[in-house]
Amino acid sequence: MKSILVFLLLSLNLSAHTLLMDVIDNEDNTITVVGAFSTGEKTVGALVKLESLISGEVLYQKRLPDESELTIEIPKEQYQVVLDGGPGHTVVKEGFAPLEGFTKKTSMETSSKKLSQNQHGALISTSVIVLFSIAFVLLALTLYFSARNTKILTAQLKK
């Protein structure tokens, strides 16, 4: 019983991490993108993309190095910063404007729609994780009670 409980607690703890992204305006027409997991683990190899909010095209794309941070020149059009750490680990934030302002602008309604569209997949994957966690706990409880009842039945049959 104790081993099953320890296994359950460890397995739930191992999957409990969230991707975090910090976008810093360096005030010299560059931004620094820093990625990390909530457990403190670095996000080496996670994909950083700058996507245009006007055309949807990828303006910049590179993987995070060992330091888990990149300094990038700010585009002249409105954009969003996407950090993709794998399935279910995507963070999207709106980018900072350059010092002279954007040359190409989009309406606030359009930019917020694009941001919310990219974050929709993260909500679905979180729901799936919660659903599978509950299913796993229910399966473990079923096995526990089945084993307990089997012991009781075998003890009664031996009498």
Confidence of residue 145 (pLDDT cuts 50, 70, 90): very high
Whether residue 82 is predicted with pLDDT greater than 50 in this model: the reply is yes
pLDDT at residue 155 greater than cutoff 90: yes
Read off φ and ψ for residue 2, nearest 5 degrees: -65, -40
Domains of the chain as residue ranges with CATH: 17-118 (2.60.40.10)
Cα 45 to Cα 1, 49, 70, 86, 95, distances in angstroms: 40, 12, 11, 10, 21
Q: What percent of the chain has pLDDT over 90?
A: 48
Q: What is the pTM of this model?
A: 0.60
Sign of CA dihedral 54, 56, 59, 64: positive
